[in-house]
Structure 1
């Protein structure tokens, strides 16, 4: 900028630099040698001169050197104009994290600045300009805002998690035949929720890949390799649906280990899903199919697991479910539309 200032045609504004007042020459010399963003506003026409550190603040604005400060920042002049007037009246202004909506990249942009407008006086003490010493604090303010939002979201999710655990505990202990059975079952269900939470935390609760949700829910059961086969395209589920699916997989796996295809040697479970276009009315279908196990009998009573699989999953996925106790193996199916999937974004593997 020192070279740009020297090469600029000042004929119609400030005149040749060699004829500039001593106060302006000294101020410009100090400014261009500073690594802190600074801008000089000079004379009644508010002519703009700035250093290299100030250039990023201007973004893609038209060349500002030698232009009136009021023209350079026309979009925020109603906010900063009175502060410039105060500086020209001899009063400095220091403001931290001042919010503005500026246009430096062809669109309105919310930004924050910490700055000081200080008067520049000549050798007689008269105010002849001002210097703007400024730093952009947009990143800091956005970070603080995001932190507040994150804390609020965390509090909301904690309440939801506690409510979910409370409901699981209530239903588990109500429907179990013994306290020992209830404790084991409750532990398995909480473990499934814990695995799902770990996966969601890794993506800041924005969602989770469906395969990761399924594998996480199966992990605590330590099922031998090759007994469960997964097939389906990559898909991102929302947080609530990820938790619900994790609980559903846990219930299906527990039942298969106790009574179904995973209770003996040779049985298998096939888990598959297919998807359509995101946010469309095309079909999302999920299936659990058991084979090679003992003959299946319809349970005499329905507990929490059955209610979860039939009611809660259908509600959270806004779809239809079927639980078919076939002799050759249990079949569980969920069908809904892609528009009902919370995130519904395919995930492209590297």
Structure 2
């Protein structure tokens, strides 16, 4: 492109001979031709286009764009990008990621995506004389991301089917078990895991937002909006998401049976904070009936006491004003996959 720019007959364009170009245009063109990042200079009221070698794949098989109006080069999408270009020419830069455009660069329309910045180019006196198009095509990335999202959704759908099958198998296998409460508790825990899966699915199974996990787990047990959540935005990994969902479910179930959630005036505060490298979670009940310490420890309590595994700690207290539980765990453990 450096050679083509030198050999081009600029006298037949609104820019005129390069000898008459302002020094700012000469400087920016020299810079653009040297860089390996796709760039185009769009200069003057006629939007004359000058671009570098890296810009060629963006153009594809379009008619030669050198010296032509940028509006003509991109005529098929000018109604979309024209207003953005006009903002740059008015002195306002715009940066856009994964912008969808249906372009014609191979003789047929094709869907493509671009991340680009249109920025004003100024003369020494501050006057805007043109704009810089700095662009990278992200079509392949966007399509791969869409395929991954589809696969993740399919995985989530299949996992839900598996969990539903587990529930059905449990109901049939345990139908003769006398302790129906234990059977129902088991199936309810499977449902809690399903809600944790939903929270993970929303973020492609890479991590989940702690608040979202808590909300999803508590929603079926908090019909009167008695639970208040408070804490910073924290991302936790898939394994910690499952564990947190089960712990919160057990705490809320106990509160619904015996504690603050068993009466309309009861309240639960679930809060969390970071203390150095540790995540600390606090469960506080108030306004409910007095709960005496349990004489025996059931599976739910044992599950809570397991916490988040190695390095974590759990403290349960049966106070007259309401049950309390403190949990802590190293953040590095909670963010591992």
Task: With the length of structure 1 as denominator, give the TM-score of the two structures.
Answer: 0.49
Deviation by residue 1:228-271 (Cα, 9 ceiling, x = unmatched)? 12211111111111111111111111110111111123221111
Does structure 1 conserve the Cα–Cα contact (< 8 Å) formed by 2:239 and 2:334?
A: no
Matches within 5 A, 1:1-350: 4=5, 6-7=7-8, 55-56=54-55, 140=140, 178-225=178-225, 227-276=226-275, 282-311=277-306, 313-315=307-309, 318-342=311-335
Specify whether residues 162 and 240 from structure 1 end up closer, same or farther in structure 2 by C-alpha distance, changes over 3 A only.
Answer: farther
| Offset, 1:220 | 1.6
Specify whether residues 203 and 155 from structure 1 end up closer, same or farther in structure 2 by C-alpha distance, changes over 3 A only.
Answer: closer
| Offset, 1:302 | 2.1
2:97: which partner in 1? none
Specify whether residues 234 and 142 from structure 1 end up closer, same or farther in structure 2 by C-alpha distance, changes over 3 A only.
Answer: closer
Question: 2:317, 2:214 → 1: CA distance?
Answer: 20
| Offset, 1:224 | 0.6
| Larger Rg belongs to | 1
Question: 1:162, 1:274 → 2: CA distance?
Answer: 34
1:70: which partner in 2? none
Deviation by residue 1:304-346 (Cα, 9 ceiling, x = unmatched)? 21121011x230x731111222333211111223333317xxx
| Offset, 1:219 | 0.9
Question: 1:221, 1:308 → 2: CA distance?
Answer: 19
SS of corresponding position for 1:340: helix
| Offset, 1:222 | 3.7
Give RMSD over aligned pairs: 4.5
Question: 1:179, 1:254 → 2: CA distance?
Answer: 17
Deviation by residue 1:107-152 (Cα, 9 ceiling, x = unmatched)? xxxxxxxxxxxxxxxxxxxxxxxxxxxxxx9965996799699969
Specify whether residues 239 and 150 from structure 1 end up closer, same or farther in structure 2 by C-alpha distance, changes over 3 A only.
Answer: farther
Aligned length in residues: 215
Does structure 1 conserve the Cα–Cα contact (< 8 Å) formed by 2:240 and 2:308?
A: no
Specify whether residues 201 and 306 from structure 1 end up closer, same or farther in structure 2 by C-alpha distance, changes over 3 A only.
Answer: same
Specify whether residues 269 and 148 from structure 1 end up closer, same or farther in structure 2 by C-alpha distance, changes over 3 A only.
Answer: closer
Question: 2:230, 2:155 → 1: CA distance?
Answer: 36
Task: With the length of structure 2 as denominator, give the TM-score of the two structures.
Answer: 0.51
Structure 2: 5+ residue stretches without partners: 10-50, 59-136
1:24: which partner in 2? none
